[in-house]
Structure 1
Amino acid sequence: MFDLKTFTLLHVVISLLALVAGIALLLAWRGGKAQPGLATATLVLLLATSITGFMFPFIKFLPSHAFGILSLILLAATVVARWGKGLAGRWLTVYGATLAIAVYLDAFVAVVQALQKIPALNALAPTDKSPGFMIAQGLLLVAFVLLGRSALRGLRGIA
């Protein structure tokens, strides 16, 4: 029998593990450490997050579905860059950038969920049009642009 509450918990745990692993990976790259095992774990967890996201019952196409599709496209490019092209030439940049953006998308959704589900945060940002939402997501974007750029520079230095 399908238990939506348990499945939701599993999806959330996978998503949070992907986020923690992804941030750890980007920080490692920033520090000049390749961490291929952590990269693989991040990739697998991000794929699992996107795939399980499509397993929820739904009636209409939602922004979360668009994020899931975009994430799967990015992760497909990550796989091609790493295993299909062996990170040769510009494929190293494709690999680093697509994986970093996929981690950002996971973080974006985590912030959306936190703003919706945690009462104190929801009071600050009750809708996706509220200033609190815009500020939170703006800060997240700036943080990921800075982290992603420095991680990509570090990754290029490893190769």
Structure 2
Amino acid sequence: MLQALLIIHVAISLLGIGSGFVVMAAMLRGNPRHPWTGFFLAMTLATSLTGFLFPYRGFTPALAFGVLSTVILVLAIYALKARRLEGGWRKTYLINALFAQYLNVFVLVVQMFQKVPALKALAPTQSEPPFGIAQGLVLIGFLWAGFASVKRARVLA
């Protein structure tokens, strides 16, 4: 049962990440309402929610990411659906949707360094420079995308 949950969780996560990059590209072009936006938000929220189904003891970093991601996604969905991206809600949506995608990609990098033998050899404890460099590059990329998307949205608003 746990193995099936893991496979479903990973599949949903990868669908969320893949569609998230499509939505990110659209945001950079000034289109925060790309047709895949709903799918991205649904898959990303499903990633967080299915993560809560795994057995755990105490409050773990995975639970913290899940709670944070869920709150961020609820805010992004509210900005998109209830507030229709009007006024400052466009910026709220962009920042929160990108932050949710960043959290998923952050976890993807962690998992890759745990599961891919070549990456695990480079950073077996994930405290080595290759892991930090990889996560730093991801962070820089998302910060750039966030600033560029918000700047583009201001120009188009």
TM-score, normalised to structure 2's length? 0.93
1:33-81 superposed Cα distances (whole Å, 9 cap, x missing partner): 3444311111100100000001011122211111111101101111221
Q: Which residue of 2 aligns with 1:96?
A: 94
How does 1:76-87 map onto structure 2 within 5 Å?
76-87=74-85
- Aligned-CA RMSD value: 1.4
Q: Which residue of 1 aligns with 2:66?
A: 68
Q: What is the rounded CA distance, in whole Å, between the counterparts of 2:42 and 2:58 in structure 1? A: 27
Q: Cα distance 1:17–1:155, how it changes in 2: closer, same or farther (>3 A)? A: farther
Contact 1:26 1:148 in 2 (8 A): no
Contact 1:81 1:95 in 2 (8 A): yes
Q: What is the rounded CA distance, in whole Å, between the counterparts of 1:132 and 1:34 in structure 2? A: 33
Question: Taking every aligned residue pair, what percent have the same amino acid on both sides?
Answer: 40
Contact 1:78 1:94 in 2 (8 A): yes
Query: Could you say what secondary structure the match of 1:87 adopts?
Result: coil
Q: Name the structure, 1 or 2, with higher relative contact order (CA <8 Å, separation 6+).
A: 1
C-alpha deviation, 1:139, in angstroms: 0.8
**Count, aligned residues:** 157
C-alpha deviation, 1:131, in angstroms: 1.5
Which residue of 26, 29, 32 maps to 1:28?
26
Give the residue type in structure 2 aligned to 1:124.
L
C-alpha deviation, 1:151, in angstroms: 2.5
Query: 5+ unaligned residues in a row in structure 1: which ranges?
Result: none
Contact 1:32 1:155 in 2 (8 A): yes
Query: Could you say what secondary structure the match of 1:138 adopts?
Result: helix
1:71-122 superposed Cα distances (whole Å, 9 cap, x missing partner): 0110111122112222111011001100000000000000000000111100
How does 1:1-159 map onto structure 2 within 5 Å?
3-159=1-157
TM-score, normalised to structure 1's length? 0.92
Q: What is the rounded CA distance, in whole Å, between the counterparts of 2:53 and 2:152 in structure 1? A: 36
Give the residue type in structure 2 aligned to 1:89.
G
Query: Could you say what secondary structure the match of 1:142 adopts?
Result: helix
Q: What is the rounded CA distance, in whole Å, between the counterparts of 2:86 and 2:80 in structure 1? A: 9
Give the residue type in structure 2 aligned to 1:138.
G
Q: What is the rounded CA distance, in whole Å, between the counterparts of 1:9 and 1:155 in structure 2? A: 37
Query: 5+ unaligned residues in a row in structure 2: which ranges?
Result: none
